[in-house]
């Protein structure tokens, strides 16, 4: 009886999911993308071009189809990233990492990239030269942002004028909403393309399990006991203009994770994304905890603690109490990629270490990589290192 109910449930999911597979002949396959547009391409799909910063490749890795990628639209999967730091005492140290997709698939670096090194000019001639049978574009990522709709429309029209089938998915930022619910819709479309919608939806549910676990552990925290947490981007370009860092308001995905999932309170209660702030403004917020995301580079807690250019922030409560934590290294992460549950768990444990004492994120990450990307222990450890998360062992995090 239980098996019949499960089968019936899967049939209902396939029948009513908004992005449907259309009836096709033996040679072609038709799906509906997140524009609501029918897209037809060869049923035996062999050559795919992507326009995103790693999310599509991540889902394709899970589905076992990433080898079909023949051209990419982002330099984020080609670059070697290294960042050098120096303390007030003159000690030098560095951190380096890659996009997780470059680590897993070094051959992506050898593919043609039909974008400028600055990441803002698509070369449609180079795209056409790769002769993809399908282009998958993620709108709301760093490569194709959500703000300039006119530019996005022009890119879509140009690709389609070349006679290339184009499937468009919309990252959470496209909808200008704080929540991440649309990630499941994106995975559904990608799964549909490769005839593996149910596997893609199961992946989305697996990722959501971490969110549910965190919510369960933080649901009963009263407002007067919530940790005040600041998501602080240390973009070095801001310092050149007199700002100490950038903060993220209550209408952003960052704040959604802080307040609605981790059960903390965003120390910055206004709206806005990446709002520059002076040292004086940050002191006015004086958060209990600071988390440091990828922000035009990787930023370790040590930078806030010891860099000479942050000496004027040393009296902040979070710095004095050593409650500053680095987020996973995620270059070109304008929208969430598959590793976002690690972001959530680090924020939650940073805010409430006692409630997450039994969870070692250092070990959790390994199992996470194995489940999502199907890798062995050695590869999982490599992914943890390339996201610059090895600090967690020293801090028993």
| Tens-place pLDDT, residues 40-72 | 999 999 999 999 999 999 999 999 999 999 999
DSSP conformation letters of 289-347: EEEE--SSS---HHHHHH-GGGGGGTTSHHHHTT-EEEPP--TT-SS--TTHHHHHHHH
Name the residue with higher pLDDT: 21 or 281.
281
Each residue's pLDDT tens digit, 215-237 = 999 999 999 999 999 999 999 99
Q: How many angstroms separate the Cα of 99 from the Cα of each of 53, 78, 95, 294?
A: 9, 8, 14, 12
Q: How many helices (H) does the chain have, and how many strands (E)?
A: 16, 15
φ, ψ (nearest 5 deg) of residue 75: -75, -10
What is the residue-averaged pLDDT of the chain? 92
Provide the CA 39 distance to its chain's centre, in angstroms.
Answer: 26
**Per DSSP, what are the bridge partners of residue 28?**
42
d(CA 119, CA 352): 38
Q: Where are the domains of the chain?
A: 2-206, 220-394
Sign of CA dihedral 67, 70, 76, 82: positive
Give me the CATH code for the 220-394 domain, please.
3.40.50.1980
Average pLDDT over residues 73-86: 94
Question: pLDDT, tens digit, for every residue of 345-385?
Answer: 999 999 999 999 999 999 999 999 999 999 999 999 999 99
Question: Does the pLDDT value for residue 339 go beyond 80?
Answer: yes
Residue 120's pLDDT is what? 79
pLDDT of residue 6: 34
Return the pLDDT at 236: 95
Distance CA 247, CA 336 (A): 17
Write the DSSP symbol of residue 172: G
Domain 2-206 and domain 220-394 have a common topology: yes
How many Å apart are CA 283 and CA 278, to the nearest integer?
Answer: 9
pLDDT band at 22 (very low <50, low <70, confident <90, very high): low
CATH architecture of residue range(s) 2-206: 3-Layer(aba) Sandwich (3.40)
Q: What is the pLDDT of residue 18?
A: 53
302: confidence class by pLDDT, cuts 50, 70, 90: very high
For range 90-119, the mean pLDDT: 94
């Amino acid at each position: 009886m239980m098996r019949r109910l499960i089968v019936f449930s899967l049939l209902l999911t396939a029948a009513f999911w908004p992005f449907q597979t259309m009836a096709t002949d033996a040679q072609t396959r038709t799906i509906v993308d997140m524009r609501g547009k029918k897209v037809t391409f060869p049923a035996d799909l062999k050559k795919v071009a992507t326009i995103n910063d790693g999310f599509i490749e991540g889902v394709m890795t899970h589905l076992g189809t990433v080898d079909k990628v023949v051209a990419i639209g982002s330099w984020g999967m080609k670059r070697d990233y290294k960042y050098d730091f120096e303390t007030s005492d003159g000690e030098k140290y560095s951190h380096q990492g890659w996009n997780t997709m470059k680590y897993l698939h070094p051959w992506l670096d050898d593919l043609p990239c039909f974008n400028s090194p600055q990441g803002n000019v698509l070369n449609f001639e180079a795209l056409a030269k790769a002769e993809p049978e399908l282009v998958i574009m993620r709108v709301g990522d760093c490569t194709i942002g959500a703000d300039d709709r006119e530019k996005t429309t022009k890119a879509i029209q140009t690709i389609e004028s070349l006679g290339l089938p184009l499937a468009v998915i919309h990252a959470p930022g496209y909808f200008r909403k704080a929540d991440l619910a649309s990630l499941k819709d994106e995975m559904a479309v990608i799964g549909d393309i490769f005839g593996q919608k149910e596997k893609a939806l199961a992946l989305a549910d697996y990722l959501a399990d971490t969110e549910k676990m965190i919510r369960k552990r933080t649901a009963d925290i009263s407002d007067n006991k919530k940790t005040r947490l600041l998501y602080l981007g240390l973009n070095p370009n801001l310092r050149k203009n007199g700002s100490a860092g950038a903060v993220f308001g209550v209408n952003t995905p960052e704040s959604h994770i802080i307040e609605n999932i981790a059960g903390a309170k965003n120390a910055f209660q206004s709206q806005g994304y990446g709002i520059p702030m002076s040292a004086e403004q940050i002191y006015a917020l004086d958060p209990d905890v600071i988390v440091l995301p990828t922000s035009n580079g990787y930023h370790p807690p040590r930078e806030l603690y010891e860099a000479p250019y942050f000496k004027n922030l040393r009296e902040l409560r979070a710095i004095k109490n050593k409650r500053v934590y680095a987020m996973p290294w995620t270059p070109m992460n304008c929208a969430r990629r598959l590793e976002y549950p690690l972001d959530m768990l680090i924020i939650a444990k940073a805010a409430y270490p006692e409630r997450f004492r039994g969870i070692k994120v250092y070990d959790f990450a390994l199992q996470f990589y194995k489940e999502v990307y199907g890798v062995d222990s050695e590869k999982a450890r490599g992914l943890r290192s390339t996201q610059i998360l090895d600090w967690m062992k020293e801090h028993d995090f």
